[in-house]
């Protein structure tokens, strides 16, 4: 055995030891955690959070910036949030979040959201601060892992690479619920804000891949969501619309490091969805279109058009066998349309969820994927060139993910 092999073996044992430690922590925490609360200046403060540890193994292509072709335990995230009702109508809250999913997050603690919420009437409320963006069925609740069947949400609509750029905005929301009596009820949300820049998001790695490394991104968005809870019990449908303005600064490493400016004057993300829960079944479908009339400037070519866009949809079905076991499957389809050529990522997944108790679950999920989502075009959708020397067309991935929540 060579010294290199011995060192690799030692590193593997150390990594396994660390992950066994994580799993032991998950087990011990699951036996002890409950939703906590305490008093502060005569106000009750509620404490919730989660700790999640995963493992991913693929046949050859590395996925989500992890080294999954060798099996990778760098799939950890956690959050802790505090909320408190100041009055009957006004409440405040904040959440700290950390993740290390391959190179995504890099273990940097972040303020996920923090806002004040005033409810004037049932039909009118306002939030101000850093607020989760309501888009599609689950964008603002995707971290409520106990609500979801899946170890990985359908990546056509909820890409982990871009969580930090899609999850929240700093600004203001108006929202409310309107009774339609026998016709059900409507929920609405309208928002405006600035999107935080994350230097460990998929955009950073994808643009470095194609020799357009990013220095900074300034981004604002506005939009809304309209959701109809129909008179059919368990049936909800709705539509989200988001307009996004981006201004990127970077350099072209292939062109002697000259600076460039990349702008998207009006990126329009539209998502339609339907959700039906009947008996032990949970059926869901979402579709998204996101055209983008972008422009690129550099000292050589000046301004020129750089159009691209995304199309995505999925359908899913889950069946709750009993209180301990749930099974499900989804078909997720994503297409990248842009320069120099379109590409896609089709993902068929099947999952078994095991609930050990009310605070601890394990999800075992298999994926068969076709395409790489536009890795060579900097699409930031699962696959990256920096840890894939020779991307293959098809990929199989096994994901194990266990979460303790309270």
- Residues with Cβ within 8 Å of 108's Cβ and at least 6 positions away in sequence, in order, are 98, 200
List Cα–Cα distances, 84 to 75, 79, 130, 246, in angstroms: 31, 17, 16, 34
Q: Is residue 143 part of a domain?
A: yes
The CATH code of the domain that includes 329 is 2.40.160.10
Say which range, 20-24, 106-110, 194-198, has the weakest mean pLDDT.
20-24
Q: Is residue 232 part of a domain?
A: yes
Q: Residue 186's pLDDT band (boundaries 50, 70, 90)?
A: very high
Query: Looking at the 3D structure of the chain, how many domains does it have?
Result: 1
Q: Is residue 12 part of a domain?
A: no
Q: What is the pLDDT of residue 299?
A: 84
Q: Is residue 282 part of a domain?
A: yes
Q: How distant is the alpha carbon of residue 193 from its chain centre?
A: 19
Quick: pLDDT tens for 209-222.
Answer: 999 999 999 999 99
What's this model's pTM, rounded to 2 decimal places? 0.89
Would you give the DSSP letter of residue 383? B
Asked if residue 18 has pLDDT above 70, the reply is: no
Question: With the CA atoms of 55, 60, 66 and 72 taken in that order, what torsion angle do they form, in degrees rounded to the nearest 10?
Answer: 30
Q: Is residue 240 part of a domain?
A: yes
Q: Residue 340's pLDDT band (boundaries 50, 70, 90)?
A: low
Q: What is the CA radius of gyration of the chain?
A: 22
Asked if residue 73 has pLDDT above 50, the reply is: yes
Q: What is the pLDDT of residue 101?
A: 96
Higher pLDDT, 341 or 350: 350
Q: Residue 35's pLDDT band (boundaries 50, 70, 90)?
A: low
Q: What is the pLDDT of residue 391?
A: 94
Q: Is residue 3 part of a domain?
A: no
Q: What is the pLDDT of residue 199?
A: 92
Q: Residue 143's pLDDT band (boundaries 50, 70, 90)?
A: confident
Quick: pLDDT tens for 257-314.
Answer: 999 999 998 889 999 999 999 999 999 999 999 998 899 999 888 898 888 889 999 9
Mean pLDDT of all residues belonging to the chain: 90
Q: Residue 1's pLDDT band (boundaries 50, 70, 90)?
A: very low
Q: Is residue 168 part of a domain?
A: yes
Cα gap 262→217, rounded to integer Å: 9
Q: What is the pLDDT of residue 33?
A: 55
Q: How distant is the alpha carbon of residue 135 from its chain centre?
A: 12
Range of the domain at 348: 33-405
């Amino acid at each position: 055995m060579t010294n290199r092999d011995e060192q690799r073996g030692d590193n593997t044992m150390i990594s396994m030891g660390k992950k066994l430690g994580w799993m032991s922590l998950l087990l011990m925490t699951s036996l002890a955690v409950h939703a906590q609360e305490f008093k502060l200046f005569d106000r009750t403060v509620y404490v919730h959070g989660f700790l999640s540890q995963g493992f991913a193994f693929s046949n050859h292509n590395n996925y989500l910036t992890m080294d999954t072709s060798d099996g990778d335990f760098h799939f950890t995230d956690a959050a802790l949030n505090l909320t408190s009702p100041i009055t009957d109508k006004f409440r405040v809250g904040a959440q700290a979040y950390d993740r290390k999913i391959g190179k995504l997050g890099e273990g940097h603690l972040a303020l996920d959201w923090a806002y004040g919420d005033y409810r004037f009437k049932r039909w009118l409320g306002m939030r101000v601060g850093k607020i989760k963006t309501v888009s599609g069925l689950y964008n603002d609740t995707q971290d409520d892992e106990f609500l979801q069947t899946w170890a990985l949400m359908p990546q056509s609509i909820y890409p982990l690479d871009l969580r930090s750029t899609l999850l929240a905005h700093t600004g203001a929301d108006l929202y409310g619920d309107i009774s339609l009596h026998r016709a059900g009820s409507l929920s609405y949300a309208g928002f405006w804000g600035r999107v935080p820049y994350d230097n460990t998001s998929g955009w950073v790695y994808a643009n470095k891949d194609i020799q357009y490394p990013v220095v900074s991104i300034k981004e604002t968005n506005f939009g809304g969501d309209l959701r109809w809870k129909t008179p059919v019990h368990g049936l909800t449908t709705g539509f989200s619309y988001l307009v996004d303005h981006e201004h990127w600064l970077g350099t072209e490493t292939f062109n002697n490091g000259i600076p460039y400016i990349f702008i998207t004057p009006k990126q329009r993300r539209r998502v339609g969805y339907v959700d039906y829960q009947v008996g032990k079944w949970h059926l869901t479908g979402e579709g998204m279109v996101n055209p983008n009339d972008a422009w690129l400037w550099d000292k050589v070519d000046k301004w020129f058009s750089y159009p691209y866009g995304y199309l995505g949809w999925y359908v899913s079905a889950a069946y709750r066998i009993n209180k301990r076991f749930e099974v499900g499957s989804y078909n997720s389809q994503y297409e990248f349309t842009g320069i120099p050529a379109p590409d896609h990522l089709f993902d068929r997944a099947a999952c078994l969820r095991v609930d050990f108790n009310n605070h601890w679950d394990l999800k075992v999920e298999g994926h068969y994927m076709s395409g790489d989502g536009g890795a060579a075009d900097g699409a930031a959708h699962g696959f990256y060139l920096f840890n894939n020397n020779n991307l293959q067309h098809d990929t199989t991935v096994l994901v194990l993910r266990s979460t303790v929540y309270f």
